[in-house]
Amino acid sequence: MKIIMLGAPGAGKGTQAVKLSEKYCIPHISTGDILRTNIKSGTELGKRVKAFLDNGQLVPDELVIDLTIDRVKRDDCKRGYILDGFPRTIPQAQEFESALENDGEKIDYIIDIEVPDENIIQRMSGRRTCSHCGATYHILHNPTKIEEICDSCGKRIELRDDDKPETIKKRLVVYHEQTQPLMDYYTIKGNLVKIDGTLGIDEIFNSIVEILGE
């Protein structure tokens, strides 16, 4: 079972990808993790990625696609995988599909977790992170026992720059401009499934499982 998870930043696609990975025993593949792993391992692709990042440049589509294709060809992906954060654009989707078709493969489901922008801003701006141990909280949905103090290590939690409302709004603008067209692209192809992302985590998960099957 090969799945692509789509959704705006903060829509919860990563959370659902982890749960689906555990249920179906297939790897959850994040493009961010792929980049970091290759850089850390010092692979040839990783060295190319690092060169772009060190120069403050975006990693080109061609390189991201090569890294992703390399990852999904590994043995642990024989039964399937869940892609999180890729593709982000129609050209990426087309190139990836062509590569799969060359191997006689295809994506089975594209799952779009839909959440209104105002909900996402509220969710993400309420997140707090411990810079010491990395634990995450939410001031409304998962608060610390002692205000602004991490339950795990006792250090102070903070609002990351990425989670500030003004930053989130900018990220959403980029998402709608670059990634939103993918929805139309996959709708035409007929394998896009839309999920109400305003529901609870378990409700969203159950909705997806109903579609994918047990």
Q: What is the pLDDT of residue 10?
A: 87
Instruction: Report pLDDT digits (tens) over 115-144.
Output: 999 999 988 899 999 988 988 899 988 899
Q: What is the pLDDT of residue 202?
A: 94
Cis amide bond preceding 91, omega within 30: no
Instruction: Report pLDDT digits (tens) over 3-55.
Output: 999 999 889 998 899 999 999 999 999 887 888 888 888 988 889 888 888 88
Question: Annotated catalytic residue: which of 2, 71, 123, 127?
Answer: 127
Question: Annotated catalytic residue: which of 2, 160, 170, 189?
Answer: 160
- Please count the structural domains in the chain: 1
Cis amide bond preceding 116, omega within 30: no
The question of whether 48 is a catalytic residue gets the answer: no
Structure-token match 């209104």, residue found: 116
CATH label of the domain that carries residue 66: 3.40.50.300
Give the residue numbers spanning the domain of 16: 2-212
- pLDDT band at 149; cut points 50, 70, 90: very high
Q: What is the pLDDT of residue 4?
A: 96
Question: Annotated catalytic residue: which of 48, 50, 88, 155?
Answer: 88
Strand partners, 193: 111
Select from 114, 130, 92 the least CA-distant residue to 198: 114
Instruction: Report pLDDT digits (tens) over 69-122.
Output: 989 999 999 999 999 989 988 999 999 999 999 999 999 999 999 999 999 998
The question of whether 74 is a catalytic residue gets the answer: no
Structure-token match 């801003």, residue found: 121
Pull the structure tokens for residue 100: 């799969």
The question of whether 79 is a catalytic residue gets the answer: no
Name the pTM for this structure: 0.82
The question of whether 127 is a catalytic residue gets the answer: yes
Question: Annotated catalytic residue: which of 13, 19, 71, 123?
Answer: 13
